[in-house]
Amino acid sequence: MKVEKNKLASIAYKISEDEPNGEILVEISENEPEEILYDDDMENLVFYSRLKGLSAGESFSFVLEPEDAFGEYDEDEIVESDLNEFADMTNVKAKDLTEDMYFTYNNDEGETDYFRVKSINHIENKIKLDFNHPYAGKKIKIEGKIIDVKEPEEK
């Protein structure tokens, strides 16, 4: 059976930076594969659309440009805020905040999203927050295998 619309596919894969000795960003093992219901939404996602037509046992490997992966790095996604106000809002003392610290929040769609502390200026009492995805601007390599493809179970 092939990966196609309205089929349930189990996939294992590794996402890494597309460069020599690129850092592994995500790894989903064959022992605990990701299950996806291949539907119209999957057709619109470049990663998953590349799986269409593959059968159980087949391997895949491809490279995605930033715009097809986690997006381009966008300087407009960096926001400057008052350090003390931010510390009060997050219940973290200003002196305990560090660069590259990550925080989560619920976005306008009600989904959990995250941002990181890009820089802190204690003298000017300012903090810069980066709302870009951590892998934004990176070309990525995806290697994996289709573990299983089946009809979804009726409930």
Closest Cα to residue 78, out of 110, 124, 138, 126? 126
Domains 7-70+136-150 and 75-130 equal at CATH topology level: no
pLDDT greater than 80 at residue 55:
yes
Question: Each residue of 26-37: pLDDT tens digit?
Answer: 999 999 999 999
Least confident of 27-41, 99-113, 125-139: 99-113
CA 79 from chain center: how many Å? 21
**Which one of 1.10.10, 3.30.420, 2.40.10, 1.20.58 gives the CATH number of domain 75-130?**
2.40.10
Closest Cα to residue 145, out of 59, 32, 25, 52? 59
User: Region 110-124: what's the mean pLDDT?
Assistant: 92
Question: Each residue of 2-15: pLDDT tens digit?
Answer: 999 999 999 999 99
Prediction pTM value: 0.74
User: What are the structural domain ranges in the chain?
Assistant: 7-70+136-150, 75-130
pLDDT greater than 70 at residue 154:
no
Residues 118, 99: contact at Cβ < 8 Å?
A: yes
Closest Cα to residue 145, out of 5, 28, 49? 28
The CATH number of 7-70+136-150 is: 3.10.50.40
CA 133 to CA 140: how far, in whole Å?
13
